[in-house]
Chains A and B, each alone.
Chain A
Amino acid sequence: MDSLSLRDYLAAIRSVITTQVKPDVWVHAEISELKVNASGHCYLTLIEKEASGRMNVCAKVSAIIWSNVYRMMSAMFLSVTNQQLQPGMSVLVCVSPNFHEAFGFSLVISDIDPTFTLGDMARRRQEVIEKLKADGVWDMNRELPFPELPQRIAVISSETAAGFGDFINQLEQNQRQFKFYWHLFPAIMQGADAPASIMEALDAVFAAQECFDVVAIVRGGGASADMLAFDDYDLSSCCAQFPLPILSGVGHERDTCVLDMVAFQRCKTPTAVGALLVDCFEQAYAKLDGLSLSFADGVRSLLREENERLKSGAMGFVKSVPLALTAEEARLSRLNANLRVMVSRRCQQEENRLNACASMLKASTKLKLQSADMNLADLKSRLQMNIKTLISQKQNRLDLLEQKIELQSPQNLLKKGYSMTLKDGKLVRSAADLKAGDLLETRFAVGSVKSRVE
């Protein structure tokens, strides 16, 4: 059985590739890794993920851009996309296969079409925007109430990031020495790990949210700043729903990343974020200043007015007093005069009344007396008459009585032959009252007799 050396076998493959596979083919793929070595050669790994499902990698190859090509290509790429070539980017590159017995297979990239990447980035950004809008969180952060005094700031940045220093200086060195309180929540602000790291920082801020008024996500870096991180769906969604207003200053001149769009307020640079905060204080201060001025003026003018009123009041008073006095005097003397007149008139009236009473009295008493006289006389005569009649009536009645008694007296009866029978001193009227043996007394006109019943 004859066999080939590995080298021969691989050499055979290499010749097939070099002859059969067309060089300089335009291919679109995603960069998953990218390293530039000391000599300036750029080594990448290109991948392709399945469109759907768990998006796992269905194609993977390593690629190389020789330093001379890379230098020119990266400058051109930067000027068009304002970005550095970096992992996570989709790119359209012109490749040729390169198989080497010892180094294996790789693709040599000779050219790149940056507009493809731009288009892809824009497309992905649009996708994220649509998704956030669909989620209904697109405007949430922007609809939060912005505090009148954003004094306590949660800063998400990294100590080393360019913009961080400028931002803090802007706050601390503000012209009127307004007092700001800030606390740094460090995060990676560059590259693929940035979104997760910033979200971690946001969680920390969330935990202490009552200590803060606003959140500032700041990072300088100018043109070469990597924007991919700030188009990340999860990060933007997290910022959109964050309970505190977010100020984004991620330092990008031209493009607005999704984070900028969902944040409460986008600023071009960290310094601009600082300036915005200082400006809020400036306005509050101006308003307060205005108020205290108008307050002072108001008080002063009110006091002045009051003073005037008092003065004019006083003057008026001074003038009016004598007038009042004289008026009063006049009234008094008038009263006085009236008094005398009225008194005398009153006395006169009383006198007249009295006289009238007196004469009336006299007249009426005379009258009274006369009538009384007549009355008496009349009474007297009536009296005499009545007495007479009365006496005669009485007389007659007596005579009559006398006669009756006369008639009734027992003496007469006895004289006529009647007798009175008495038992124990009492008259007996019926025989039933008596029984045999009773002692009786019988009286006659003359004398009396005792007897016993048989």
Chain B
Amino acid sequence: MAKKTEEKEFNYTESVTRLETIVEKIESGEMNIDELAEQVAVASQLIKSCKEKLFSTNETVEKMLKDLEK
């Protein structure tokens, strides 16, 4: 899995809200075709990172907890 360097910047709640706005825009028909391709890319990336947050191990957090042991 790619090393997650910008982990701190990724904010789960913000990404979900952004995802909601994109979906709303699509459902409301505001989205035009040119924007669509780009927004699809953005949205799929958001979903991927959110899922990762839920399921996959995050090295930085593991490391921090290990540091507590010392």
**A→B interface (CB under 8 Å):** 148-149, 151-152, 176-179, 181-183, 208, 211, 281, 284-285, 287-288, 291-292, 294-295, 298-299, 302-303, 305-306
A292 to B58, CA, bound (A): 22
> Which residues of chain B come closer than 8 Å to A152, judged between CB atoms?
61, 65
Choose one: A181, A211, A298, A303; the contact of B23 (CB below 8 Å): A298
Contact of A302 among B36, B62, B65 (CB under 8 A): B36
Contact call B68/A285, Cβ cutoff below 8 A = no
Residues of the B chain whose Cβ atoms lie less than 8 Å from the Cβ of A149: 12-13, 53-54
List residues of B (30-48) whose CB comes within 8 Å of A's CBs.
31, 33, 36, 40, 43, 47
**Chain B contacts for A183, CB-based, 8 A:** 65, 68-69
Instruction: Report the minimal beta-carbon distance from B63 to chain A, rounded to whole angstroms.
Output: 10
Q: What residues on B are CB-neighbors of A298 within 8 Å?
A: 23, 26-27
Cβ–Cβ < 8 Å partners of B36 in chain A: 299, 302-303
Residues B26 and A295 in contact, CB atoms below 8 Å apart: yes
Residues of A within 8 A of B12 (CB): 148-149, 284
Contact A292 B13, beta carbon cutoff 8 Å? no
Q: Which residues of A contact B5 (CB under 8 A)?
A: none
Chain A: minimal CB distance from B70 (Å): 11
Closest 4 CB pairs of A and B: A298-B26, A211-B64, A292-B47, A183-B65
Q: Taking beta carbons and an 8 Å cutoff, which residues of B are in contact with A?
A: 12-13, 16, 19-20, 22-23, 26-27, 29, 31, 33, 36, 40, 43, 47, 50-51, 53-58, 61-62, 64-65, 68-69
Using CB atoms, name the residue of chain A closest to B55.
A179
Q: Which residues of chain B have C-beta atoms less than 8 A from A292's C-beta? A: 19, 43, 47
Complex-state Cα separation, A305 to B33, whole angstroms: 11
Interface of B is mostly: helix
Q: Is the CB of B54 within 8 A of A295?
A: no
A291 near B68: Cβ-Cβ < 8 Å: no
- Chain A residues with CB under 8 A of B61: 151-152, 181, 211
- Contact B54 A284, beta carbon cutoff 8 Å: yes
**Chain A residues positioned under 8 Å from B62 (CB to CB):** 181
> Which residues does chain B contribute within 8 Å of A178, judged by CB atoms?
54-55
B23 and A295 contact, CB distance less than 8 A: yes
Residues of B within 8 A of A291 (CB): 16, 19-20, 23, 47
Residue of A148, A177, A298, A305 contacting most chain B CB atoms (<10 Å): A298
CA A303 to CA B40, docked complex, whole Å: 12
Which of A181, A281, A295 is close to B65, meaning CB atoms less than 8 Å apart?
A181
Query: Complex: how many Å from CA A151 to CA B7?
Result: 14
Kindly list chain A residues whose C-beta atoms are within 8 Å of the C-beta of B40: 299
CB contacts (< 8 Å) of A211 on chain B: these are: 61, 64-65, 68
A287 and B54 form a contact (CB under 8 A): no
Cross-chain pairs A/B with CB under 8 angstroms, 29 sampled = A148-B13, A149-B13, A152-B61, A176-B55, A178-B54, A179-B54, A179-B55, A179-B56, A179-B57, A181-B58, A183-B68, A183-B69, A208-B68, A211-B64, A281-B54, A288-B16, A288-B19, A288-B54, A291-B16, A291-B23, A291-B47, A292-B19, A295-B22, A295-B26, A295-B43, A298-B26, A299-B36, A302-B26, A303-B36
Interface centre among B36, B61, B68 (most CB of A within 10 A): B68
